[in-house]
Amino acid sequence: MKKILKSTLAIVAVFAAFTSCNNSSKSSNSGALSSNNAEKVYVAPGEHDSHYAFISGGYSGNLTVYGLPSGRMFKEIPVFSQFPTNGYGYSEETKPMLETSYGFVPWDDSHHPDISQTKGKLDGRWVFINGNNTPRIARISLTTFETEEIIEVPNSAGNHSSSFITENTEYVVAGTRFSVPIPQKDMSIKDYKGNFKGALSFISVDPEHGHMDIKFQVLMPGFNYDLSHPGRGKSHGWFFFTTYNTEEANSLLEVNASQNDKDFIAAINWKKIEEYVNNGGGTMMPAEYAHNVYDDNTHTATSTMKKEVRVVNPTEVPGAVYLIPTPKSPHGCDVDPSGEYIVGNGKLSANLTVHSFTKMLDAIKNEKFAGEAYDIPILNFEDVLAGSVEQPGLGPLHTEFDGQGNAYTTFFISSEVVKWKLGTWEVIDRKPTYYSVGHLTIPGGNSAEPFGKYMFAMNKITKDRYLPTGPEMEHSAQLYDISGDKMELLLDFPTHGEPHYAAAIPAEIVKNNSRKIFKLAENEHPKKALSDADTKVVRDGKNVHIYMTMIRSHFSPDNIEGVKVGDKVFFHITNLEQDFDVPHGFAMIGARNAELLIAPGQTRTLTWEPQKVGVWPFYCTDFCSALHQEMQGYIRVSPASSDIELSWSLGE
Ligand code: K7E
Ligand code: CUA
Beta bridge partners of 419: 408, 429
Alpha helices (H) along 26-114: 35-41
State yes or no: pLDDT of 24 exceeds 90.
no
Please give the mean pLDDT across all residues of the chain.
Answer: 94
Query: Rounded to the nearest whole angstrom, what is the distance from the C-alpha of residue 599 to the centroid of ligand 2?
Result: 11
**Peptide linkage before 435 cis (omega within 30 of 0):** yes
Q: Whose CA is nearest to atom 2 of ligand 1?
A: 111
pLDDT digit string (tens) for 117-164?
999 999 999 999 999 999 999 999 999 999 999 999 999 999 999 999
State yes or no: pLDDT of 545 exceeds 60.
yes
State yes or no: pLDDT of 53 exceeds 80.
yes
| Per-residue model confidence (pLDDT) at position 652 | 86
Exposed (0-12), middle (13-18) or buried (19+): which is 529, by Cβ within 10 Å? buried
Instruction: Please enumerate in sequence order all residues whose Cβ is within 8 A of that of 248, keeping only pairs 6 or more positions apart, or say none.
Output: 179, 192, 193, 194, 196, 221, 222, 223
| Per-residue model confidence (pLDDT) at position 14 | 44
| Per-residue model confidence (pLDDT) at position 180 | 98
Ligand 2 atom at minimal distance to the Cα of residue 622: 2
pLDDT digit string (tens) for 394-453?
999 999 999 999 999 999 999 999 999 999 999 999 999 999 999 999 999 999 999 999
Are the C-beta atoms of residues 307 and 214 closer than 8 Å to each other? no
**Amino acid residing at 271:** K
Q: Whose CA is nearest to atom 6 of ligand 1?
A: 438
**Which helix (DSSP H) or strand (DSSP E) does residue 556 occupy?**
strand 554-556
Query: 631 CB less than 6 Å from ligand 2?
Result: yes
Query: Rounded to the nearest whole angstrom, what is the distance from the C-alpha of residue 630 to the centroid of ligand 2?
Result: 8
Residue among 352, 313, 351 nearest 336 (CA): 352
* CA-to-CA separations, 610 to 256, 637, 639, in angstroms, rounded: 56, 7, 10
pLDDT digit string (tens) for 335-375?
999 999 999 999 999 999 999 999 999 999 999 999 999 99
pLDDT digit string (tens) for 262-272?
999 999 999 99
Strands (E), 313-351: 321-326, 330-335, 341-346
Query: 551 CB less than 6 Å from ligand 2?
Result: no
pTM to 2 decimals? 0.94
Query: Rounded to the nearest whole angstrom, what is the distance from the C-alpha of residue 622 to the centroid of ligand 2?
Result: 5
State yes or no: pLDDT of 277 exceeds 50.
yes
Query: 438 CB less than 6 Å from ligand 1?
Result: yes
**Peptide linkage before 201 cis (omega within 30 of 0):** no
**Which helix (DSSP H) or strand (DSSP E) does residue 23 occupy?**
helix 2-25
Ligand 1 atom at minimal distance to the Cα of residue 227: 3
Residue among 321, 377, 329 nearest 349 (CA): 329
Strands (E), 109-247: 114-118, 121-131, 136-141, 147-152, 159-165, 171-176, 197-205, 212-221, 224-230, 238-244
Residues 163 and 535: their CA atoms lie apart, in Å, by 43
Query: Rounded to the nearest whole angstrom, what is the distance from the C-alpha of residue 159 to the centroid of ligand 1?
Result: 12
Q: What is the mean pLDDT of residues 554-565?
A: 98
Residues 117 and 409: their CA atoms lie apart, in Å, by 23
Instruction: Please enumerate in sequence order all residues whose Cβ is within 8 A of that of 514, keeping only pairs 6 or more positions apart, or say none.
Output: 142, 143, 145
Measured in residues, the chain has a length of 652
Are the C-beta atoms of residues 77 and 140 closer than 8 Å to each other? yes
**Which helix (DSSP H) or strand (DSSP E) does residue 614 occupy?**
strand 614-619
Instruction: Please enumerate in sequence order all residues whose Cβ is within 8 A of that of 24, keeping only pairs 6 or more positions apart, or say none.
Output: none
Q: What is the mean pLDDT of residues 31-47?
A: 83
Ligand 1 atom at minimal distance to the Cα of residue 438: 6
State yes or no: pLDDT of 27 exceeds 70.
no
Ligand 2 atom at minimal distance to the Cα of residue 623: 2
Give backbone dihedrals phi and psi of 64, rounded to 5 degrees, phi first: -110, 150
Query: 572 CB less than 6 Å from ligand 1?
Result: no
**Which helix (DSSP H) or strand (DSSP E) does residue 559 occupy?**
strand 559-564
Query: 125 CB less than 6 Å from ligand 2?
Result: no
Confidence of residue 28 (pLDDT cuts 50, 70, 90): very low
pLDDT digit string (tens) for 301-310?
999 999 999 9
- What is the dihedral sign for C-alpha 538, 540, 542, 543? negative
Query: 624 CB less than 6 Å from ligand 2?
Result: yes
Residue among 66, 60, 50 nearest 145 (CA): 66
Query: 563 CB less than 6 Å from ligand 2?
Result: no
| Per-residue model confidence (pLDDT) at position 34 | 60
**Amino acid residing at 65:** V
**Which helix (DSSP H) or strand (DSSP E) does residue 478 occupy?**
strand 476-481
Burial 380-395 (b: 16+ CB within 10 A, else e): ebebbbbbbbeebbbb
- Find the ligand nearest to 576 CA: 2
State yes or no: pLDDT of 46 exceeds 80.
yes
